[in-house]
Amino acid sequence: MVSENPKVMVVYGTRPEAIKLAPVIRRLKSYEDLDVVVVSTAQHQQLLESIVERFGIQADYQLPAMPVGRALNELLASTISGLDSILEEVAPQLALVQGDTTTAFASALAAFNRGVKVAHLEAGLRTGDIRAPFPEEANRRLISQIAELHCAPSGDASQNLLAEGIPKEKVVITGNTVIDALYEVSGWDVDFSDDRVKDLVNRKARFVLVTAHRRENLGKLGGIASAIDQLANAFSDVSFVVPLHANPLVKDAFQQKLAGKQNVLLTDALPYPEFTALLRRSWMVITDSGGVQEEAPALGVPVLLMRDKTERHEVLQSGSVRLVGTDSTRIVEAATRLLDDEEELAAMSVVSSPYGEGRASYRVADALHNLLITNG
């Protein structure tokens, strides 16, 4: 028997999207009067596999895996083309996209062109600079122009949307679903796959976690690696753990500068449960990541953010995150202050969660249900 329920098509392609959408997908599937179709664009296929399996959000449709480092226009065009045939077959009433990736923008545009309503999770984040971060700031602004429902993670994000002329009735403040996922994963048993990481954790060693992968920082990785090299020389009793992104440019930059260094541990990208367990135990994190800005404060871990601007202004206000840019001198000076001054480190180590208490997925799913069922 063919279901007459409205269909929600949920699209992810990167690890952060899958993590943040997993709680929503499960919540949506609890509604008997909705049908949920999950689609993966496989933008980051290698990093997706463990997440999809562990969270139980296997895709009903999957596009062919994409080569790492593909040009943006090629990525955008192939994603729209691949999704178009799925949209035609599934004929959903609503497409849910998350964040500001190329997958999110391509999915929103493909759905819009098919006359399908678009809901945007994590809507309203803004730096005010169309090229920072690139292309994410442009992606999310463009999605906002075609979305029917905007799920904002905070009051500030909501105000950004209202200031751009988005009708108030189309904006819902939900919190951020990454907190839902983080709290869930925190209850899982974790066995570190890298014995060196396992030894570090078992010894309760003092260590700093480092991540870098932003497209706009690819030309600055040599300076970032140099900063970590200087810090490792200055603090021989501190370890620096650097999970490497799959992008060869990232791997090469860090391996050339840091491979073989005694207190620097270069690893492959870690599965999300391992990463969060490591993050929880770290003294601080030096990163250019968007998601880590949300996760680390919720765990009470100080963040030195290798950007000049952030779209997550709430974390700056909380005192958990400091902007240090990508200049090696600034990075070294900021990290040195925290490693030398226990009081200053402690002041930044207070748990802060401006993105909710871990129930955002319920608010998101209820808003989608209301859009399709209650309000039709």
Phi, psi of 247 (to 5 degrees): -60, 125
Q: List the beta bridge partners of residue 333.
A: none
- State which H helix or E strand residue 158 sits in: helix 155-163
321 and 287 Cβ atoms separated by less than 8 Å: no
Sheet containing 149-152: give its strands across. 61-62, 35-40, 7-12, 94-98, 117-121, 149-152, 171-173
Alpha-helix runs per DSSP H in 269-327 = 272-281, 291-299, 313-318
The residues assigned a catalytic role are 100, 122, 136, 213, 215, 245
Query: How many Cβ atoms from other residues are within 10 Å of residue 61's Cβ?
Result: 17
Which residue, among 5, 272, 273, 19, has the nearest Cα to 121 in the 3D structure?
19
Distance, in Å, from the CA atom of 15 to the CA atom of 29, rounded to the nearest integer, reads 21
Distance, in Å, from the CA atom of 107 to the CA atom of 10, rounded to the nearest integer, reads 9
Q: DSSP code of 311?
A: S
Q: Degrees (nearest 5) of the Cα angle 187, 190, 191? A: 165
Q: Degrees (nearest 5) of the Cα angle 73, 16, 124? A: 75
Which residue, among 230, 217, 345, 325, has the nearest Cα to 284 in the 3D structure?
345
Distance, in Å, from the CA atom of 157 to the CA atom of 144, rounded to the nearest integer, reads 12
